[in-house]
Amino acid sequence: MQGQAVRSTQQVADDFSSIEHGHTRAITYEDSSEHVGHHSPTSKNVALIALLLSLRSFMKRELNFKRIAIRLLSAVLKSAVAAIAASLIWHKLKKRKNTTSPSKVAVVGSGIAGAGAAWTMNKSGIDVTVYEKKPKPGGNAKCMNWNVDGRKVDTGLAVFAWPDELFHNYNALIEELQVETEFHDMKFYVTEKDEVAGTKLVFAHGKQNPSWVKEDLERWDELCRYIKSVNEWFSPSAYPSLYSMSWVNPLNLIPLKRLCQWWGVSQRFWDYVFVPVHTSTFLEVNMDSVPGSMGSLLNDIVPFSATPRMKTWKTNAYDTVVAMLQDIKVKTSCGVETVTFNADGSVCVTDEDGESRQFDAVVFACSAQAMNRILHGEGQPGENNIPPNNSNGLNSITSWLESFLLRQTLYTTDRDKTFERGIVHTQSAATIPAAHRDDVMREYCNYIEVKEPGDLENSFVISSWAPTAEEFPMLVTYNADKKLDGLDTEWVSTSREAHPCLTTWQMMSTTVLWPLLQGRRNAKCYFCGSAVLPGNGHDLSFLSGIVAATELGANYPFQKNKMAQQDFDRLRGMMLSAWA
């Protein structure tokens, strides 16, 4: 039966291969391995051909086609069930009402999402007040001031660069604020702890990598082409975009790790190459639940077979946030205690100092835990003294759903402590072995040393690429406290509640269930930021703030930028319009 299925698919594929090339980007094949090349993202017919040809290459690996087909069908059925369930819930919820645009809005949180919401509303003449619990605004856009031979040098600590071809709205912001930028190669260097050799090279961009890595890279690249063809079938895009996603894509429900197994990518490659490199993006080691649909996007951002090239600030990300907030009232070291929704339509924000102020609306751009505490009076374990918020503006069903989703949001540091604490230092000899140190400090952005699967050290080598760093060694190292114990260090950087785990649940809940909750309180309350999004990233969070702002009457700020506008429309659809 399996052989008949393979032969039938091959016959169909052979018929397709005889079709004349009439599209803007023709389908291409590699004769030796019959890999699938590029195809037009605007033609579903061509996408179907690519999908079938990918399946042909897939099945020639003598895998159980029947089992995989059943799994794919099961994933589609699960998506359909989720859609039906969400639509039924929708009819039980109180729908948004059209109201006049607010004149005074509170924004809770000053990371890139909150700053984006505040900046967009301020441009449209809305009076905005931003509440920030920490002493400085910016969220993840932290800044470090180094003393370089008596000269002060500022660099970023957590947000370093971005893929220029994908961050259309953030690029538009940078251009409008006239922030100076430059391109830089972001190369990764991975070693394995060895009892005999000390450390040995496993993978490095631009180096001669071991033969087993090369073999796995061929399979990985083939898998990424397959994932891209499936993604483009469900959500075609004429240009590279972070937002060409579809929640009915069955690859959302199949872990990327499982797809790697099906394609013959070794467990060793997953443990010693994929996970170590992408810990720098996800800030966690546990990646077993990353959805399969993310594979091609991750490979576009940080390819293994080519050197990643990204754009970075000539200063740092923090200065950009400061520029966005310069004309806006920002209350730092001032967390929010409660937000209540009054019968007259006003919104009362009470801060931790006990001061209450009235607003017309509120935008939440903080962590899920903070939202749940403020809106529902549900704190962290042990915080039993927090009273319930009985004036949160929702009926019982909607209130339960909102609180449930906030409680279920899992952050990377909740399940993996590797990146909870980063030590900022200049002691390169303590964390990078001599055999690799010169190369790493000269041209690599990250040095990762794998002790065993799931246990690694990661050093962000700021001085290798930061435009202001020059020759002075600057590093942020995670999970290497023993190596640095007793040595002079500069600072400790924490990343709690910074990155939600990239799981199938996070992706599905944010695209299927959260749209039911945006604006429920008579269009007085919206949510943005990573807690309510299917992924992490500066452009994604910034754009979510713009979406929240435009729902409160602000104008979209980049209307002349076609790609940015289309990304905005797509994310707005994900955040708000799935069921509206």
Each residue's pLDDT tens digit, 371-401: 999 999 876 544 445 556 667 778 888 889 9
Mean pLDDT of 159-170: 92
What pLDDT, on a 0 to 100 scale, did the predictor assign at position 562? 95
**523's tokens:** 């269009």
What pLDDT, on a 0 to 100 scale, did the predictor assign at position 87? 55
Query: 548, 542, 455: which is closest to 173 by C-alpha?
Result: 542
Give the pLDDT band (50/70/90) at residue 73: low
What pLDDT, on a 0 to 100 scale, did the predictor assign at position 551? 95
What's the chain's average pLDDT? Answer: 82
Coil, strand, or helix at residue 188? strand
What pLDDT, on a 0 to 100 scale, did the predictor assign at position 488? 75
Q: In what order do the strands lie in the sheet with 127-131?
A: 329-331, 127-131, 104-108, 361-364, 525-527
How far apart CA 46 and CA 272 sit, in angstroms, is: 36
Mean pLDDT of 434-463: 93
Kindly report, residue by residue over 499-519, the tens digit of the pLDDT: 788 777 887 888 888 998 999
- Written in H, E and C, the secondary structure of 50-63 is HHHHHHHHHHCCCC
Give the pLDDT band (50/70/90) at residue 32: very low
| Residue 198, beta-bridge partner list | 194
Give the pLDDT band (50/70/90) at residue 414: confident
289 pLDDT exceeds 80? yes
Calculate the dihedral angle through the C-alpha atoms of 420, 449, 165, 317, rounding to the nearest 10 degrees: 40
Amino acid at 327: D
Bigger pLDDT: 461 or 23? 461
pTM of the full structure: 0.82
* Range in 85-89, 266-270, 410-414 the model is least confident about: 85-89
> How many percent of the chain have pLDDT more than 90?
51
Maximum mean pLDDT: which of 12-26, 266-280, 487-501: 266-280
How far apart CA 283 and CA 280 sit, in angstroms, is: 6
Mean pLDDT of 230-234: 92
| Residue 478, beta-bridge partner list | 422, 458
Query: Which domains are present in the chain?
Result: 100-139+318-410+500-577 (3.50.50.60), 142-155+183-311+412-496 (3.90.660)
- Written in H, E and C, the secondary structure of 256-267 is HHHHHHHCCCCH
Helix (H) / strand (E) element for 202: namely strand 198-204
What pLDDT, on a 0 to 100 scale, did the predictor assign at position 143? 78
What pLDDT, on a 0 to 100 scale, did the predictor assign at position 44? 47
Bigger pLDDT: 70 or 355? 355
Give the pLDDT band (50/70/90) at residue 433: very high
What pLDDT, on a 0 to 100 scale, did the predictor assign at position 109? 96
Give the pLDDT band (50/70/90) at residue 74: low
What pLDDT, on a 0 to 100 scale, did the predictor assign at position 128? 98
23 pLDDT exceeds 50? no
Coil, strand, or helix at residue 449? strand
Give the pLDDT band (50/70/90) at residue 228: very high
Kindly report, residue by residue over 297-356, the tens digit of the pLDDT: 999 999 999 999 999 988 888 899 999 999 999 999 999 999 999 988 899 999 998 999
What pLDDT, on a 0 to 100 scale, did the predictor assign at position 40? 38
Coil, strand, or helix at residue 478? strand
What pLDDT, on a 0 to 100 scale, did the predictor assign at position 3? 40
Largest CA distance in the chain: 75
Mean pLDDT of 166-188: 95
14 pLDDT exceeds 60? no
Give the pLDDT band (50/70/90) at residue 25: very low
What pLDDT, on a 0 to 100 scale, did the predictor assign at position 283? 84
Bigger pLDDT: 497 or 534? 534
* Range in 16-20, 117-121, 126-130, 366-370 the model is least confident about: 16-20
41 pLDDT exceeds 60? no
* Range in 8-12, 354-358, 367-371, 495-499 the model is least confident about: 8-12
* Range in 196-205, 209-218, 266-275 the model is least confident about: 196-205
93 pLDDT exceeds 60? no
What pLDDT, on a 0 to 100 scale, did the predictor assign at position 10? 45
179 pLDDT exceeds 90? yes
184 pLDDT exceeds 50? yes
Mean pLDDT of 166-195: 94
Structure-token match 């032969």, residue found: 7
